[in-house]
């Protein structure tokens, strides 16, 4: 429920501000106590809540799958084993359909990206006030619980994927082959400046599109949940109406959070497949 102490704009700003650690204008280091302070900390500030929830959800993923692996049996499988095996089979089928080269790293990477991003997206279904209000009771003023609504998280993942794309492009084609691909396609050696421009933009667009697509969809979803939460402070009628809207949007949002995790994973596999292909 929206806090009675905040105006609607202050409430929205509060829920969209990360718990930020960085350097204050006086040179000291510490947590930001307002959105303006967080902004003033600049590029090197750390979004503590994004780091915390990303690591926690990654550890949750590892714990669940490790537990399933330890309890795996060739006999009648339990519910957890069935669940994990269905996810692994789904990822394996998706990778086989998109990746034509041979690389034993790609399927585990795809599994990690899909499950980890899905868990981070899933936090968007937690009512927007529950965890921030609990954090306030513990003396923490800001707490964003959906890491994928922070471009630092989405760009961090996409840049890691980009590094892998560059690495495998050079490994499979050699430095000369990689540079030649950028310089000679699609117009041949006489169109080298245009080739470098087009291929360079195409290369840089991959991590940018991966990051912004995931961030934009989840940020928009979070904003809608915040706007719906404002209705709860408008009386009984608006509270009931807000509850219906929240339920409907949450049900629809299940599709969005799953689809965005799948798209990020699939594009990563496709980009790595392209990096493994040699052009002659």
Confirm whether 217 is a catalytic residue.
yes
For the chain, the first-to-last Cα distance in angstroms comes to 61
- DSSP letters of 134-164? HHHHTT-------GGGSHHHHHHHHHHHHHH
State the Cα–Cα distance between residues 6 and 193, nearest whole angstrom: 55
Q: Which residues contact 124 (CB under 8 A, 6 or more apart)?
A: 146, 149, 218, 221, 222, 225, 253, 257
State the Cα–Cα distance between residues 178 and 163, nearest whole angstrom: 14
- 46 — phi, psi (to 5°)? -110, 130
The catalytic position among 34, 152, 213, 233 is 213
For the chain, the maximum distance between any two Cα atoms, rounded to a whole number of angstroms, is 71
With CA atoms as reference, report the closest residue to 117 among 172, 64, 61, 77.
61
Are the C-beta atoms of residues 107 and 95 closer than 8 Å to each other?
Answer: yes
Using the structure block, give the residue that is written with the tokens 């697509």. Answer: 213
Using the structure block, give the residue that is written with the tokens 């949450």. Answer: 250
The catalytic position among 176, 209, 233, 239 is 209
The catalytic position among 54, 121, 195, 217 is 217
With CA atoms as reference, report the closest residue to 101 among 240, 253, 277, 229.
277
Which residues are part of the catalytic machinery?
209, 213, 217
């Amino acid at each position: 429920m929206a806090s009675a102490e905040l105006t609607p704009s202050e409430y929205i700003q509060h829920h969209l501000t990360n718990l930020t650690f960085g350097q204050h204008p006086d040179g000291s280091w510490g947590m930001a106590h307002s959105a303006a302070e967080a902004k003033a900390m600049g590029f090197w500030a750390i979004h503590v809540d994004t780091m915390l929830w990303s690591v926690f959800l990654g550890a949750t993923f590892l714990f669940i799958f490790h537990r399933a692996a330890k309890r795996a049996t060739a006999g009648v499988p339990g519910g957890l084993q069935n669940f994990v095996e269905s996810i692994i089979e789904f990822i394996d089928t998706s990778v086989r359909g998109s990746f034509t080269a041979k690389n034993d790293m790609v399927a585990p990477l795809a599994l990690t990206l899909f499950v980890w991003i899905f868990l981070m997206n899933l936090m968007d279904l937690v009512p927007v006030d529950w965890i921030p209000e609990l954090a306030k009771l513990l003396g923490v003023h800001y707490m964003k619980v959906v890491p994928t609504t922070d471009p630092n998280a989405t760009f961090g993942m996409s840049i890691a994927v980009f590094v892998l794309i560059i690495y495998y492009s050079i490994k499979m084609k050699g430095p000369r082959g990689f540079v030649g691909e950028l310089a000679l396609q699609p117009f041949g050696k006489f169109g080298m400046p245009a080739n470098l421009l087009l291929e360079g933009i195409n290369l840089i667009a991959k991590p940018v599109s991966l990051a912004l697509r995931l961030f934009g969809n989840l940020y928009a979803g979070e904003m809608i949940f915040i706007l719906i939460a404002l209705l709860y402070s408008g009386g009984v009628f608006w509270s009931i109406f807000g509850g219906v809207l929240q339920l409907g949007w949450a049900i629809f949002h299940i599709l969005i959070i799953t689809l965005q995790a799948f798209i990020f994973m699939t594009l990563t596999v496709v980009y790595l497949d392209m990096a493994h292909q040699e052009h002659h």
